[in-house]
């Protein structure tokens, strides 16, 4: 395989069909020009979540003025957070608007998440997605909805209404299939209704490194030589199966009809790509998942490491027979992979909810320290 060399690894990945999005959002990086500089270097989008905002608000004074402004008086802590998040996402989306326009709506998106408390609430997720879409008011925003069973109908309906959706917390190939079907169904419904599909965008955020964390824990507990030989391999194998499924679903007669009406593919987005286990390479979840029509959303620290010593070469192909064989070995060693992915989804929702509660606690503490009265 050919190794690509350019001044920016992000540009090199782009040459192979992969966009880099930053898994980070903070107001000062927008206002200082840092984000615009990153966009010039090849950054193509951005994601946010409660944990990112908790770190940004709690770890700096960047938001103190916003929290004490007249518009915040009388607002609940939840409303105060949403006002801050919406404003940050608007500003970031404006920076990425040049990317969005120059790619005719193919890239340049910024994501904002529905409340993690709605992960098991279909109607609540749909209602909040509609409201956030209206509040942000930018064509290059994506609303994040968890890819739980309860989320599937909300995802399909939102897409049918023309709302860009980033489906988050995907761990299983089966759930990836369900959200891809939701996208295809929504595009077909819009086409049948005579509505345009060329500016409706969606990505399927498939989580990676957390899979190795959970599978490795189970393999180590089994303790056999066979299990030991499988450590650190399940996550990339699982993602490769998701890419194989993507390649199958977005080809053939059904997709050709939708594509010919102007729709784009629902790209796989590799999430949770920082390395959790120090025994493993610090950029392995970027290097191992490079291929056309994909996105890797990366924390700033991991992106810097990749720029320093990452190798850019295509590592994803439509056929994933080797990955399938690897996961078969994991199952034969005694790991129930369906239970792994369900556990990770449940824990992911719990972690997002805990981050959200912590975030509201940080906002409450700051507002009290700044002498701002909040509505209960």
Q: Could you give phi then psi for residue 116, rounded to 5 degrees?
A: -60, -20
The residues annotated with a catalytic role in the active site are 144
**Which residues are CB-neighbours of 139 under 8 A, at least 6 positions away?**
100, 105, 164, 199
Cα 308 from Cα 256, distance rounded (Å): 40
User: What structural domains does the chain harbor?
Assistant: 9-369 (3.20.20.70)
Other Cβ atoms less than 10 A from the Cβ of 319: the count is: 11
pLDDT in tens, the chain (376 residues): 333 334 589 999 999 999 999 999 999 999 999 999 999 999 999 998 888 888 888 888 889 888 888 888 888 999 999 999 999 999 999 999 999 999 999 999 999 999 989 999 999 999 999 999 999 999 999 999 999 999 999 999 999 999 999 999 999 999 999 999 999 999 999 999 999 999 999 999 999 999 999 999 999 999 999 999 999 999 999 999 999 999 999 999 999 999 999 999 999 999 999 999 999 999 999 999 999 999 999 999 999 999 999 999 999 999 999 999 999 999 999 999 999 999 999 999 999 999 999 999 999 998 888 887 655 5
Distance (Å, whole) CA 356 – CA 55: 11
Query: Whole-angstrom Cα distance, residue 228 to residue 270?
Result: 26
* 239 CA to centre of own chain: 14
Three-class SS state of 224: coil
pTM, 2 dp: 0.94
DSSP 154-217: HHHHHHHTT--EEEEEE--HHHHHHHHHHHHHHHHHHHHTT---TT--EEEEEE-HHHHHHHHH
Rounded distance between C-alpha atoms, residue 205 and residue 207, angstroms = 6
Closest of 339, 338, 208 to residue 275, by C-alpha: 208
Copy the structure tokens of residue 276: 């959790």
- What residues have CB less than 8 Å from 373, skipping those under 6 apart? 73, 74, 367
Residues 6+ apart with CB under 8 A from 223: none
Q: Would you tell me the crossing angle of helices 173-192 and 151-160 to the nearest 10 degrees?
A: 30
DSSP letter (8 states) at residue 334: T
């Amino acid at each position: 395989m050919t190794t690509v060399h350019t001044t920016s690894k992000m540009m090199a990945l782009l040459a192979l069909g992969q966009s880099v999005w930053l898994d980070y959002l903070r107001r000062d990086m927008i206002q200082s020009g840092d984000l615009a500089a990153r966009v010039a270097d090849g950054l193509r989008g951005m994601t946010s979540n409660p944990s990112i905002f908790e770190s940004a608000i709690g770890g700096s004074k960047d938001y103190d003025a916003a929290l004490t402004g007249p518009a915040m008086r009388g607002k609940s802590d939840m409303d105060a957070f949403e006002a801050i998040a919406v404003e940050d996402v608007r500003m970031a989306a404006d920076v990425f608007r040049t990317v969005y326009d120059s790619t005719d709506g193919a890239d340049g998106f910024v994501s904002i998440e529905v409340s993690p408390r709605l992960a098991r609430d279909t109607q609540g997720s749909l209602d909040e997605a509609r409201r956030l879409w209206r509040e942000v008011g930018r064509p290059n925003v994506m609303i994040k909805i968890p890819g739980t069973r309860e989320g599937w109908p909300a995802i399909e309906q939102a897409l049918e209404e023309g709302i860009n959706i980033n489906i988050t917390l995907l761990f299983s190939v089966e759930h990836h299939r369900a959200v891809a079907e939701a996208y295809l169904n929504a595009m077909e419904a819009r086409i049948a209704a005579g509505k345009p599909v060329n500016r409706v965008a969606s990505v399927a955020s498939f989580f990676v490194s957390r899979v190795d964390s959970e599978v490795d824990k189970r393999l180590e507990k089994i303790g056999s030589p066979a299990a030991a030989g499988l450590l650190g391999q399940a996550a990339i194998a699982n993602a490769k199966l998701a890419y194989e499924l993507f390649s199958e679903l977005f080809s053939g007669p059904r997709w050709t009809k939708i594509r010919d009406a102007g729709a784009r593919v629902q790209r796989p987005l590799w999430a949770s790509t920082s390395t959790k286990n120090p025994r493993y390479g610090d950029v392995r979840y970027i290097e191992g998942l490079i291929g056309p029509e994909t996105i890797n959303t990366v924390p700033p620290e991991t992106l810097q490491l990749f720029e320093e010593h990452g190798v850019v070469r295509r590592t994803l192909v439509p056929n994933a027979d080797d990955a399938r064989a690897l996961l078969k070995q994991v199952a034969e060693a005694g790991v129930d992979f369906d239970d792994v992915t369900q556990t990770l989804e449940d824990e992911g929702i719990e972690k997002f909810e805990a981050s959200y509660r912590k975030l509201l606690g940080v906002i409450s503490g700051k507002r009290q320290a700044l002498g701002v009265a909040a509505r209960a």
